[in-house]
Structure 1
Amino acid sequence: MSDLQSYLDKALKELQLVETDDKPIFLDYDIESEVCELISTVRTQLGITQKQLAEKSGVSQANISKIENGSYRPSIATLKKIADGLGKRLIIEFADREEVL
């Protein structure tokens, strides 16, 4: 199973549901926290430090730290640099939300 799939499986388990008269719906999700956690998780799984990722990506170690702890919102260009530094491809897509009955 891929790192991303493992992360997504974990994130889906953490989604909260709220009951309505018709059917349950998903509450909003925190995409920024998901991105922060994903960068940190993949970096750790690859066994590289923030400094090594900074060298590979061209993003400063200070900014990588800020991104991972959620105090800095990276641009798409910065996310691409980080993905490249991790040896990954950045993919952004709009997906339908799953309806839960």
Structure 2
Amino acid sequence: MSKSESNITTLGQFKDKHFGKVGTVSRDELENGYTDFKIGALLHEARVQKGLTQEQLAEKVGTTKSYISKIENNIKEVRLSTLKKIVELGLGGEVELMIKL
């Protein structure tokens, strides 16, 4: 291993060092927050890819631009039923759910 490779820190190592091991309160909060952020980022990316504004997506789904913005920016949590409605009716896609044990 070269000297530069020994200085590389993986994301997992960084999170362990700064937020604790998996299962600790601070690490669980980080991971849960990331999941919420990820959903908003995925919705944003899909909306942009479809060429829709937040307002256009909101109209298709029957909600407000403000609500879509809050979900995309991780200000508001989204219910699974609402997420399905946004993805299916608004974006013409489908939600796939996976549980890892």
Taking structure 1 as the reference length, what is the TM-score of the superposition?
A: 0.66
Contact 1:59 1:82 in 2 (8 A): no
Q: In the alignment, is residue 57 of structure 1 matched against residue 61 of structure 2? A: yes
Q: Which has the larger radius of gyration?
A: 2
More helix by share: 2
Gaps of 5+ in 2: 1-9
Runs of 4+ in structure 1 deviating by more than 6 angstroms, as ranges, are none
Deviation at 1:17, TM superposition (A): 1.3
One of 4, 7, 12 as aligned partner of 1:17: 12
Taking structure 2 as the reference length, what is the TM-score of the superposition?
A: 0.66
Once the two structures are superposed, what CA deviation does each residue of 1:15-69 show, in whole Å capped at 9, x if it has no partner?
821289xxxx877631101001000001001111001101111222110011111
Gaps of 5+ in 1: 1-14, 97-101
Contact 1:58 1:81 in 2 (8 A): no
How many angstroms apart in 1 are the aligned matches of 2:65 and 2:82?
13
How many angstroms apart in 2 are the aligned matches of 1:95 and 1:77?
21
